[in-house]
Amino acid sequence: MVSTGKALAGTTIVGLGTLAYAHLETKRFTLRRVQIPVLEADQAPIRLLHISDLHMVPGQKAKSQWVRSLATLNPDAVIATGDLLSHAEAVPSALQALDPLMGLPGAFVLGSNDYYASRPINPIKYFSTPSQRTPTRAMLDWEPLVKGMTNNGWLDLTNTQIDWKVDGRLISVKGVDDPHISRDDYAGITNSYNGEADLTLGVVHAPYLRVLDAMAADNTQLILAGHTHGGQLRLPGYGALVTNCDLDTRRARGLSSHHNSALHISAGLGCSRYAPFRFACPPEATLITLTSRKAR
């Protein structure tokens, strides 16, 4: 009985320590750097800052300051792949965090948490199936967020194709609204990619296979997405347990491929305010350097 009690106490201590670390890890902001050889021969590199899943809540000063500091990287462009909000009153906080970055060329799509208020979830259900795809939550006042970004020159990529001049190069980009809540309409984007583009780019929040398949079939060179939080809780040596969509866990974060397209999934900078934990998966932004296929 004594040994059983000691074992239980030891397990409890380890569990509480792990939980405490998982909470602290949400503040261990990390900049990742990735190089992708997708450009034609002899083209100059293009540097993209990929940010996602801020899940801003009023008062998150450390996160806001870290995001603001990313402007010193001076990328050619910033791509935000949704879920910038996690609170009904977070629009000013999100815009304040993004403010220095909005002095740079940028483009964005929204995610489900930009449209609907977050709520507590059953963690067991989360690990067994994607979270609720038919929203029953309160609608957020998301329009001021979009207005704040577009008024600063960022492009709204919601179910559209845009030709975008960035540092003298032409990026032909297609973006869709969030597939996680069935707002995507890739088939409804009637314009094709510009054949003269230096880069063809696809942007989406949740990397559902139906969208990735359509973008890859369209000869998209690079697809950017978020949503997965990299699994949020990862097992060392194993990786993500869940992606919260139909993407396989092997590609829950970082650089991979989808058919002939390069695919980059951001693990994101935040998490739901009702689940403020990360384990072996620190919050991140990624500086992506696109190079010539012949570059070394």
- In 3D space, the residue among 254, 255, 286 whose CA is nearest the CA of residue 269 turns out to be 286
Q: 16: which residues sit within 8 A by CB, 6+ positions away? A: none
Domain span holding position 175 = 2-292
Give the per-residue pLDDT at 276.
87
pLDDT in tens, 245-267: 999 999 999 999 999 999 999 99
Beta bridge partners of 287: 33, 49
Q: 87: which residues sit within 8 A by CB, 6+ positions away? A: 56, 57, 58, 93, 117, 118, 273
Distance CA 197, CA 80 (A): 21
Give the per-residue pLDDT at 203.
99
pLDDT in tens, 194-241: 999 999 999 999 999 999 999 999 999 999 999 999 999 999 999 999
pLDDT in tens, 35-51: 999 998 888 999 999 99
Q: Is 141 exposed, middle or buried (0-12, 13-18, 19+ CB in 10 A)?
A: exposed
- CATH classification of the domain holding 21: 3.60.21.10
Beta bridge partners of 79: 50, 107
User: What phi, psi does 249 have (nearest 5°)?
Assistant: -70, -25
pLDDT in tens, 85-127: 999 999 999 999 999 999 999 999 999 999 998 877 665 555 5
pLDDT > 90: percent of the chain: 79
Give the mean pLDDT of the chain. Answer: 90
Query: What is the pTM (predicted TM-score) of this model?
Result: 0.91
Structural domain count, the chain: 1
